[in-house]
């Protein structure tokens, strides 16, 4: 366990995550070729949709050996639509390598994944990639990392450039070792390289001295700190979250990848170093002798169902029995096989221990976030929560009889992707997802799996409703039953609650009549009053006066009382908004700004970025559908936009 390193690679889209992972696989001997994203040969992007689009859609895990250490590497998507794919993987990694483009610097999704890893308490190394490209500026990027990500970033490797300014080598700021990629530097240029390396070393010692008394003593005395002492002090400060080591290189040309792997071994924690929080907060975590417990962080339907599990404690062996912690009534399941995986390839193993990532193949009805345990000692690990989808499309089959097959295919995808929501409305399938690209890819995957023709509607945003204030309602319904008049009377109150939470229904009274009213009220809050589900309120049922023979009257009275309360509370329609960041050539910035204004966007800043203008702000999602195409037109294909969910805001005047 001390020689196991489990880490994820996270970044903004197109920063080179998959390219870096491919080089890691090659350098460690895990595969004998170097896959290419552009050529569709990357081992980690093995799904057809990933290879055709040249982007990562789903996370992929692999296993490799570096020296006497085992690396478990998780390559995650960079596109914001797949943020949940990153989130669930963060639950089972012990550290992260944050990739930053050496030309574009810190980008919007860089900040997003940094915040995600920070919320998970993960130690992070930074790798500045693409230093071979024109415009790459390592020192400036390190400064950006420190400023924008609010951390103490310090370089532990530095790029070395030849007399012509070309990226030609790397220097180790701790040991002074140098990699010169081809030949050797010109003799008259060597002093400049030595000065650069000495400056980096002095800066590193200065930063580490602030967090280690022994290094501080050596620093004040003017003595050189031994490399092993400096590295140990840096690791201690790193694991406490005080310092972020920064490395650099070029994944495409396999420059600096070996030193990055050395840094993973040197600084990232093993299982024994992990703090008792998250999934590692369970009693006995990391103990091989404890009863088995594992966390299901991903389920994927490929040729069969792959259940990805991180072992938290104990050993799992072939033939062992497991239960799903919160659904023990489903009974024990016997593990027929265990696999360690390299993307879509696998190797059968007899057993696995604490910290290992394993695939348990087969349909066990497990889901993302499940805890699986030895039946003799059942515990529950904390499960991830995912944002609710905000965009919906309708799949309408060419033939009515194909609706069932389409529905089944989407439901299978929803098991793999916990951010998908699926509903069937007669022959149409309503699919809700995180964004336009997300839903486009879902449609492609459904076509492949179901083999049926269907039409996809234009995306539409999911709207919500909330109340402007508290209110109450009382209603009575009467009818004549078997010659006599019967009645049902219901009273309730509407209370405000956190706006982001779906409305709940509670009761201050018991009895069968109250249960009938509760069922009706729960149906009503899901349906909403006009445009969508009620949020940000609580319906409190008061008295219900009726006999059981008047069930229909009870439902009617409860519904009328809710209508009255909603009218008094004033219903406010809400629509989803997004935070936006647009990068555009300086010459196009005014046109981009005008177009954003026409869409109701609130632009908060316009600044000069590395590649032109950077416009930041927020906008209603409904007005931003199709914006990528428009931006490309305005900027002649050079513009980029990132949109992230920013909650809900009133879409108009309150209605009542």
Residue 155 forms beta bridges with which residues? 246
Residue ranges and CATH numbers for the domains of the chain are: 4-273 (3.40.50.300), 278-373 (2.40.30.10), 391-462 (3.30.70.870), 465-569 (3.30.230.10), 573-650 (3.30.70.240)
How many angstroms separate the first and last alpha carbons of the chain? 62
Q: What is the pLDDT of residue 498?
A: 84
User: Rounded to an integer, what distance in angstroms lies between the CA atom of residue 198 and that of residue 46?
Assistant: 44
Instruction: Mention every residue, 6+ apart, whose C-beta is less than 8 A from residue 526.
Output: 533, 534
Secondary structure class of 340 (helix, strand, coil): strand
- In terms of Cα–Cα distance, which of 505, 493, 509 is closest to 546? 509
Question: Within 13 Å, how many C-alpha atoms sit on residue 636's CB side?
Answer: 5
- In terms of Cα–Cα distance, which of 91, 68, 66, 60 is closest to 359? 60
Mean pLDDT (10-residue bins), the chain, 656 residues? 88 87 87 57 48 53 89 73 75 92 90 88 96 94 95 97 94 95 91 94 96 92 92 96 97 96 96 90 94 92 89 94 76 88 82 93 91 92 84 92 92 89 90 89 90 92 91 91 84 89 91 92 89 90 82 92 94 91 91 94 86 89 90 89 87 49
User: Rounded to an integer, what distance in angstroms lies between the CA atom of residue 294 and that of residue 359?
Assistant: 11
Q: What is the pLDDT of residue 14?
A: 84
Report residue 300 CA to chain centroid gap: 16
For residue 95 the two structure tokens come to: 């550290």
User: Rounded to an integer, what distance in angstroms lies between the CA atom of residue 147 and that of residue 143?
Assistant: 6
pLDDT tens, position by position, 40-70: 545 444 455 544 545 445 566 788 899 999 9
Strand locations in 249-334 (E): 293-301, 305-313, 316-317, 321-324, 333-334
User: Residue 547 burial (CB < 10 Å; 0-12/13-18/19+)?
Assistant: middle
Q: What is the pLDDT of residue 304?
A: 87
Q: What is the pLDDT of residue 558?
A: 95
Q: What is the pLDDT of residue 577?
A: 92
User: Rounded to an integer, what distance in angstroms lies between the CA atom of residue 257 and that of residue 22?
Assistant: 10
Q: What is the pLDDT of residue 229?
A: 95
User: Rounded to an integer, what distance in angstroms lies between the CA atom of residue 254 and that of residue 23?
Assistant: 6
Instruction: Give the CA distances from residue 447 to residues 50, 276, 419, in Å, rounded to whole numbers and listed in that order.
Output: 15, 44, 19
- In terms of Cα–Cα distance, which of 494, 476, 470, 459 is closest to 576? 459
Secondary structure class of 427 (helix, strand, coil): coil
Cβ neighbours of 361 (radius 10 Å): 18
Instruction: Give the CA distances from residue 454 to residues 398, 405, 433, 434, 443, in Å, rounded to whole numbers and listed in that order.
Output: 5, 11, 18, 21, 9
- In terms of Cα–Cα distance, which of 64, 70, 119 is closest to 91? 119
What H or E segment, with its residue span, contains residue 173? none
Q: What is the pLDDT of residue 56?
A: 47
- In terms of Cα–Cα distance, which of 403, 401, 397, 445 is closest to 420? 445
pLDDT tens, position by position, 389-412: 888 999 999 999 999 999 999 999
Q: For residues 26, 31, 37 and 39, what is the CA-based torsion angle, rounded to 10 degrees?
A: 120
For residue 316 the two structure tokens come to: 């799992």
């Amino acid at each position: 366990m001390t020689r196991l390193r489990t880490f994820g690679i996270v970044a903004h889209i197109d920063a080179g995550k998959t390219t870096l992972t491919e080089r890691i696989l090659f350098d460690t001997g895990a595969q004998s070729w170097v896959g290419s994203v552009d050529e569709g040969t990357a081992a980690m992007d093995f799904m057809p949709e990933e290879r055709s689009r040249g982007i990562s859609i789903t996370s992929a895990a692999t296993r490799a050996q570096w020296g006497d250490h085992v690396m478990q590497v998780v390559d995650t998507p960079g596109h914001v639509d797949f943020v949940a794919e990153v989130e669930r993987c963060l639950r089972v990694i012990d550290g992260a390598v944050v990739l930053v483009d050496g030309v574009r610097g810190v980008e919007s999704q860089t900040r997003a994944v940094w915040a995600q890893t920070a919320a998970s308490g993960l130690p992070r190394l930074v790798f500045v990639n693409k230093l071979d490209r024109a415009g790459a500026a390592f020192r400036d990027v390190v400064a950006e990392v420190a400023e924008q990500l609010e951390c103490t970033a310090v370089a532990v490797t530095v790029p070395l450039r030849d007399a012509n300014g070309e990226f030609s080598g790397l220097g180790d700021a701790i040991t002074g070792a140098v990699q010169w990629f081809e030949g050797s530097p010109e003799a008259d240029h060597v002093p400049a390289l030595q000065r650069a390396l000495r400056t980096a070393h002095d800066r590193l010692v200065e930063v580490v001295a602030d967090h280690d008394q022994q290094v501080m003593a050596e620093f004040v005395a003017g003595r050189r700190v031994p490399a092993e002492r400096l590295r140990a002090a840096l690791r201690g400060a790193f694991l406490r979250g005080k310092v972020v080591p920064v490395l650099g290189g070029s994944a495409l040309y396999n420059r600096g990848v070996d030193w990055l792997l050395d840094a993973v071994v040197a600084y990232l924690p093993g299982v024994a170093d992990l703090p008792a929080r998250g999934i590692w907060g369970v009693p006995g975590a990391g103990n091989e002798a404890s009863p088995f417990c594992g966390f299901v962080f991903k389920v994927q339907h490929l040729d069969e169902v792959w259940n990805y599990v991180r072992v938290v404690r104990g050993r799992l062996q072939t033939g062992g029995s497991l239960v799903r912690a919160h659904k023990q009534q489903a009974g024990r399941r016997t593990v027929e096989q265990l696999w360690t995986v390299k993307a879509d390839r696998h190797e059968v193993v007899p057993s696995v221990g604490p910290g290992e990532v394993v695939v348990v193949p087969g349909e066990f009805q497990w889901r993302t976030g499940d805890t699986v345990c030895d039946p003799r000692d059942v515990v529950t690990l904390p499960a991830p929560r995912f944002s609710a989808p905000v965009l919906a499309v309708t799949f309408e089959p060419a033939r009515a009889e194909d609706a069932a097959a389409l529905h089944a295919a989407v439901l299978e995808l929803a098991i793999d992707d916990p951010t998908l929501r699926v509903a069937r409305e007669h022959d149409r399938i309503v699919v809700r997802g995180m964004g336009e690209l997300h839903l486009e890819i879902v449609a492609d995957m459904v076509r492949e799996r179901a083999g049926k023709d269907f039409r996809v509607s234009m995306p539409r945003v999911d709207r919500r409703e909330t109340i402007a204030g508290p209110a109450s309602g009382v209603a009575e319904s009467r009818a004549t039953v078997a010659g006599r008049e019967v009645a049902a009377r219901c009273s309730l109150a509407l209370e405000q609650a956190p706006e982001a939470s779906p409305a709940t229904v509670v009761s201050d009274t018991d009895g069968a009549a109250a249960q009938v009213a509760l069922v009706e009220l729960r149906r009503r809050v899901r349906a909403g009053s006009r445009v969508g589900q009620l949020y940000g309120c609580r319906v409190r049922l008061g008295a219900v006066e009726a006999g059981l023979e008047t069930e229909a009257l009870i439902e009617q009275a409860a519904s009328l009382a809710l209508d009255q309360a909603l009218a008094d509370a004033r219903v406010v329609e809400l629509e989803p908004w997004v935070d936006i960041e647009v990068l555009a050539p300086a010459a196009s910035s005014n046109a981009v700004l005008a177009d954003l204004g026409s869409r109701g966007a609130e632009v908060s800043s316009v600044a000069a970025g590395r590649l032109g203008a950077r416009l930041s702000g927020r906008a209603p999602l409904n007005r931003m559908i199709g914006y990528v195409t428009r931006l490309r037109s305005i900027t002649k294909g050079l513009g980029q936009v990132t949109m992230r969910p920013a909650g809900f805001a009133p879409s108009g005047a309150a209605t009542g």
